Amino acid sequence: MAQLKKWFRFFSACFFLITGGVILIFNRKNYKPIYRGFRYFMEHESYQITLRRLREDPDTRALVESRYRQGLPVDWGKLRTLPENTLGFQFARFMNHPEVTPLDRLPEARTEISPEIDYLRQRIRLIHDIHHVVCGFPADELGEMGISAFYVAQINSPLNSMLLAFGLIKCTIKMPARLPELMQEIVKGWSMGLRAKNLFGIKWEELWEMPVEDIRKLVGVEVS
């Protein structure tokens, strides 16, 4: 029975991941099948490696244990009053981009798996867009590929490695002339992720008033 359940989860994961990948080729905003498939994939070794990488970082482990800012809303009004060069202002402006999904509409805002993993997934999805700002990756398809490569370098993220694979397929089919640009973003994100400090255990909400350039120096991110 246990083996049968394991195979069921594996084939369910493959079905939703492949279906989600095909959907992403034509509609890049629809990530729901990918996330649904990934729920079945969480017992796989690749995901366990990512969890170990996150837990091995003392700062990330401290955030998880304290459930730092779990469920607390972002004060967008306050962020928009900060100086333009600060992290808070830049984050608020980034989230206003039409290509960015509002935080309350993300699958992570509703999916329940386990207390620790739920917190990690919700926390990572919140700070994902902060990482975009700090690392200088725009809210477009190339920017998503760059930040995905960054995550693979930092935490061995299987979800992002699969997004890179689907992104390469989509670019080959729909935008073949842009493949060199895509590869440059992937290399840039990978190299940046290897050099930078682990960005997952940082209390970003305490840095809203700090200039983005100062934060980049603090965490070892070089934006060319």
Q: Please provide the DSSP assignment of 38-104 as one string.
A: HHHTTTSHHHHHHHHHHHHSHHHHHHHHHTTTTTPPP-HHHHHTS-TTBHHHHHHHHHTSTTSPPGG
Q: Look at residue 158 in the predicted model and tell me its pLDDT.
A: 87
Cα radius of gyration (the chain): 18
Q: Please count the other Cβ atoms lying within 10 Å of the Cβ belonging to residue 5.
A: 9
Read off the pLDDT band of 96 (50, 70, 90): confident
Percentage of the chain lying above the pLDDT 90 cut:
53
Q: Look at residue 214 in the predicted model and tell me its pLDDT.
A: 98
Q: Look at residue 46 in the predicted model and tell me its pLDDT.
A: 81
Q: Look at residue 109 in the predicted model and tell me its pLDDT.
A: 47
Mean pLDDT on 180-194: 97
**Separation of alpha carbons 70 and 137, rounded Å:** 26
Q: Look at residue 105 in the predicted model and tell me its pLDDT.
A: 47
Go through the chain and tell me how many residues it has: 224
For 124-179, the pLDDT digits (tens) are 888 999 999 999 999 998 999 999 999 999 999 988 998 898 889 989 998 999 99
Residues 6+ apart with CB under 8 A from 26: none
Q: Look at residue 119 in the predicted model and tell me its pLDDT.
A: 86
Mean pLDDT on 79-96: 95
Q: Look at residue 7 in the predicted model and tell me its pLDDT.
A: 46
pLDDT of residue 184 exceeding 50: yes
Burial class (CB in 10 A: 0-12, 13-18, 19+), 180: exposed
Amino acid at 105: R
Long-range contacts of 61-68 (CB under 8 A, 24+ apart): 61/201, 62/201, 63/123, 63/201, 63/203, 64/116, 64/119, 64/120, 67/119, 68/123, 68/203
For 34-60, the pLDDT digits (tens) are 555 556 566 678 888 999 999 999 999
The pair of structure tokens assigned to 23 is 């959907």
Q: Look at residue 15 in the predicted model and tell me its pLDDT.
A: 52
Q: What is the mean pLDDT of the chain?
A: 82
| Percent of the chain that is helix, strand, coil (3-state, to 5) | 70, 0, 30
Read off the pLDDT band of 108 (50, 70, 90): very low
Mean pLDDT on 180-205: 97
Q: Look at residue 41 in the predicted model and tell me its pLDDT.
A: 64
